[in-house]
Chains A and B, each alone.
Chain A
Amino acid sequence: MNRCPEKDKIVLFCERELSDVEQAQFELHLKTCSECRLELEQTIADDSLLREGVEEAFTRHRVSQRIMAQIRNEKTARPATDSYKGWRYFWLTAFALLTIIAVISLYTPSPAKYQGRVGAIMLQALNEETTLQNEKLAVAKIYNLETLAPASLDGCILFTVSGDKTSVFKMSGQATVRINNGLPEFSDAKATFELVSGAIITILVNGNPLKLERKTMIPAPFDTSDLEPDQVSLPAANVPLVASTSEQTDAIIDDMPEEPCIVDKPAGNASASEPAAEVMPGSDTWIDPTQAPGNNPFADEPLKLDGN
Chain B
Amino acid sequence: MNRQERTDVELVQAVLAGELEQFAELVERYEKLVFSFLLTRLNDLQEVEDIVQETFVKAFRHLASFDCERRFAAWLLTIARNLLIDSRRKAGRSIASTNLVNEVMLTDSAREAASQPSEVVVRRERFRSIVAMIQELPEELRTPFLLRVINELPYQEIAEVLDVPLQTVKNRIFKAREILREKRESL
Residues of A within 8 A of B (CB): 7, 10-12, 14-15, 17, 39, 42-43, 46-47, 49-54, 56-58, 60-64, 66-68, 70-72, 74, 77, 79-86, 119, 146-147, 302-308
Contact = CB atoms under 8 A, between A and B. Distances in A.
Given A57-B45, A58-B36, A79 B64 contact: yes
Name B's interface SS: helix
B2 interface: no
Interface in B1-57: 15-16, 20-21, 23-24, 27-28, 31-32, 35-36, 39, 45, 48-49, 52-53, 56-57
Contacts of B177: 11, 14-15, 43
Contact of B82 (A43, A82, A302): A302
B104 A50 contact: no
Given A79-B15, A307-B139, A50 B45 contact: no
Contacts of B149: 47, 50-51
B39 A57 contact: yes
Contacts of B127: 49-50, 53
A79 B55 CA distance: 14
Given A11-B177, A50-B127, A50-B150, A61 B45 contact: yes
Given A71-B60, A84-B65, 6 more contacts: A11-B177, A80-B61, A81-B64, A82-B65, A84-B62, A303-B81
Contact of A49 (B75, B130, B178): B130
Contacts of B174: 11-12, 15, 17
The list of the 3 closest CB pairs from A to B, nearest first, reads A307-B140, A79-B63, A83-B65
Interface of B: 15-16, 20-21, 23-24, 27-28, 31-32, 35-36, 39, 45, 48-49, 52-53, 56-58, 60-65, 67, 74-75, 77-79, 81-82, 85, 103-105, 107, 109, 111, 123, 126-127, 130-131, 134, 139-141, 143-144, 149-150, 152, 162-164, 170, 172-174, 177-178, 180-181, 184
A84 B141 CA distance: 30
B173 A52 contact: no
Name A's interface SS: helix
B39 A54 contact: yes
A56 B109 contact: yes
A43 B16 CA distance: 44
Nearest to A84: B65
A10 B62 CA distance: 44
Nearest to B24: A68
Contacts of B27: 64, 67-68
B28 A79 contact: no
Contacts of A302: 75, 78-79, 82
A56 B23 contact: no
B24 A50 contact: no
A80 B173 contact: no
Contact of A67 (B56, B109, B152, B172): B56
Nearest to A64: B27
B164 A306 contact: yes
A302 B66 CA distance: 11
Contacts of B31: 58, 62-64, 67
Contacts of B130: 46, 49-50, 53
Contacts of A82: 64-65
Contacts of A72: 20
Q: Which of B27, B48, B139, B163 has the most CB of A within 10 A?
A: B27
B57 A67 contact: yes
A238 B36 CA distance: 62
Q: Which of A46, A50, A305, A308 has the most CB of B within 10 A?
A: A305
B77 A308 contact: no
B184 A42 contact: yes
A237 B111 CA distance: 81
A129 B67 CA distance: 36
B159 to A, nearest CB: 11
Given A61-B45, A64-B31, A146-B61, A307 B53 contact: no
B65 A80 contact: yes
B95 to A, nearest CB: 15
Contacts of B74: 305
B20 A306 contact: no
Contacts of B64: 79-83, 119
Contacts of A70: 53, 57
Contacts of B180: 46
A53 B163 contact: no
A79 B56 CA distance: 12
